[in-house]
Every structure is written in C-alpha cells, then in structure tokens.
Amino acid sequence: MNNQKDYDYVINNMSHLYASSRQRRHDEWSNNLDVMNYVNHKKDIDNLISHIKEHQDSELLQLAMKSPHLAIDRMNQENKNENINKSDISNTYIPHKLSI
C-alpha cells in the first residue's frame, strides 16, 4: 500500500480476474441448453402475441389458450403460406412488348 504503482497494478489485476471470472460464468450459463430453450420459447411466444395483436386472429388466440405450441406451429405455417403467395404473385409478371 505504500507504493502507489504496485497498488494500482494489484487493483487492476484483481479487477480483471474478477471480470473475466464473471464473464466465464455468464458464458457457461448462457450456453446451457435449458437457458437456450427458454430464450427460444420466449421469442416464439412473443412473436405469437404480436401476431395475434396485429392480425386480430381470435381463432389463433383460442388455440393459444389451449396449446401455445400448436398455435405457434399454425402461425409459422400461415407465415410460410403468405410468403409463398407473395413470391408467386411477384413471379407472375409477364413483360409486354409495345408495338407501334
């Protein structure tokens, strides 16, 4: 404690060790399969809620109250069908040649 330079070195070294230890524990925790599953399911539920609010889909809401997993599957299927229909419409453009 008498030498400020040594004191600063020890404090910086200890804070680095503490921070790296916390980062390592956080990385181990976030790579846990249970945590990753929870985050993915929460994202799916949030998407379902926003989809129901946006589209005012009462049938999907009733299904979600009974089985959220089935409702998420149906929502994903509807989204796939919408994307397919949009791509079909965009691919049907036929250019016409103007004749004079």
- Residues 32-58 have pLDDT tens digits of 999 999 999 999 999 999 999 999 989
* Residue 93 pLDDT exceeds 90: no
User: Which pLDDT belongs to residue 64?
Assistant: 93
Angstrom distance (rounded) from CA 52 to CA 29: 32
Angstrom distance (rounded) from CA 62 to CA 74: 12
* Residue 100 pLDDT exceeds 60: no
Tell me which H or E stretch contains 94: none
Amino acid (one-letter) located at 48: L
Helices (H), 1-100: 4-30, 33-55, 58-66, 68-90
Q: In the predicted model, what is the mean pLDDT of the chain?
A: 85
Q: The tokens of 90 are what?
A: 């965009």
